Amino acid sequence: MNSSSWQFDEFQHIGTDYESYAEVETYDNRMNKLRDIKDEAKCILCMLNLKPEHTLIEIGTGTGEFAIAAADCCSKIIAIDVSESMLKYAEKKARSRSVKNIQFVKAGFLTFQLPNESCDAVVSQFALHHLPDFWKQIALLRIYQMLKTTGKMYLKDIVYSFDPKKEDNFFERYITTLMTTGNDDLQYFVRHVNTEYSTLAWIMEGIINKAGLSIEWAEYKDEFIAAYLCSKSSI
Ligand SMILES: C[S@@+](CC[C@H](N)C(=O)[O-])C[C@H]1O[C@@H](n2cnc3c(N)ncnc32)[C@H](O)[C@@H]1O
């Protein structure tokens, strides 16, 4: 044991193992069926209002779809992920689409190193729930530090906004729907709920505010997906 052994090991995968290359391919195919990824990216990029000289950091880039879409809008993108397999997959995809301005870095919310106030925008989608709440707070404090004073953060994740007194009801209702539609997302949903660290909406909002970030816009969807556009405010 040493003085840093209390720190959370973000490289140890919890829930779905994104170090497995088969899982990475499955994830990419599943997301392309489930989401309109191009349209999502377009909306986020429109909200961020990026300029060609801007630097954007994506944390938990996964298979790289957002970073690749953003590559047309600004000169420098740093795409961060803790999974080597995700990074290799995303890098290959970027190469195949002749995208050259993305730097792929193996690091996470708690370990990436960037100078203070060095980036214009931070985007993270469906990745922060890999950290328990205390570490989510540390992650957002670190994001606050690296954003320029005019910087923006777009955060989307699985965040519970249903009434927790009705939690059985919510999960059972959702699982029953997935079972009746024969949807193969069922196993991922169950694994997410019982092993990963999604939090409640009021806690997520508190964590964002405590980090010194102001929520300019928020959207809650289906009582378990939340998106926030935040700007820097003084701590
Ligand atoms: C559900 S995927 C989301 C990928 C992509 N952002 C998307 O929207 O499809 C979660 C990603 O977060 C990564 N991840 C997990 N823990 C992380 C951490 N502490 N820091 C950065 N990325 C992390 C995983 O390796 C995985 O690529």
| Owner of token pair 């195949």 | 96
> Is 3.20.20.60 the CATH classification of the domain at 21-160+197-232?
no
Residue in 38, 61, 81 to alter for ligand 1 test, most ligand atoms within 8 A of Cβ? 81
Distance 127 CA to ligand 1 centre (A): 4
Distance 179 CA to ligand 1 centre (A): 26
For ligand 1, atom 27, the nearest C-alpha belongs to 62
Q: Give the pLDDT confidence score for residue 3 in this predicted structure.
A: 72
Q: Return the closest-CA partner of residue 124 out of 135, 140, 138.
A: 140
- Name every residue whose Cβ is closer than 8 Å to that of residue 140 and which is 6 or more positions away in sequence: 153, 207, 208, 210, 211, 213
Per-residue confidence of the chain (235 residues) as pLDDT tens digits?
A: 777 889 999 999 888 889 999 999 999 999 999 899 999 999 999 999 999 999 999 999 999 999 999 999 999 999 999 999 999 999 999 999 999 999 999 999 999 999 999 999 999 999 999 999 999 999 999 999 999 999 999 999 999 999 988 877 888 888 888 888 766 788 888 888 999 999 999 999 999 999 999 999 999 999 999 999 999 865 4
What distances in angstroms separate CA 92 from CA 48, 65, 171, one per listed residue? 26, 12, 37
Q: Give the pLDDT confidence score for residue 115 in this predicted structure.
A: 95
- Name every residue whose Cβ is closer than 8 Å to that of residue 72 and which is 6 or more positions away in sequence: none
Q: For residue 88, what are its two tokens?
A: 């290799």
Q: For residue 58, what are its two tokens?
A: 């994506």
C-alpha–C-alpha distance, residues 212 and 208, integer Å = 7
Residue 20 neighbours by CB distance under 10 Å: 14
What distances in angstroms separate CA 19 from CA 27, 31, 98, 194, one per listed residue? 12, 17, 25, 20
Distance 54 CA to ligand 1 centre (A): 23
Residue 92 neighbours by CB distance under 10 Å: 12
Q: Return the closest-CA partner of residue 193 out of 25, 16, 27.
A: 16
Q: For residue 7, what are its two tokens?
A: 């720190």
Question: Is the whole-model pTM more than 0.75?
Answer: yes
Asked if 151 and 27 touch (Cβ cutoff 8 Å), the reply is: no
DSSP state string for 28-46: HHHHHHHS-HHHHHHHHHH
Q: Give the pLDDT confidence score for residue 139 in this predicted structure.
A: 98
Q: Give the pLDDT confidence score for residue 235 in this predicted structure.
A: 47
- Spell out which residues line ligand 1, taking CB within 6 angstroms: 10, 18, 31, 59-62, 80-83, 86, 108-109, 125-127, 130-131
Beta bridge partners of 230: 153, 215
Q: Give the pLDDT confidence score for residue 173 in this predicted structure.
A: 87
Domain map of the chain by residue range? Answer: 21-160+197-232
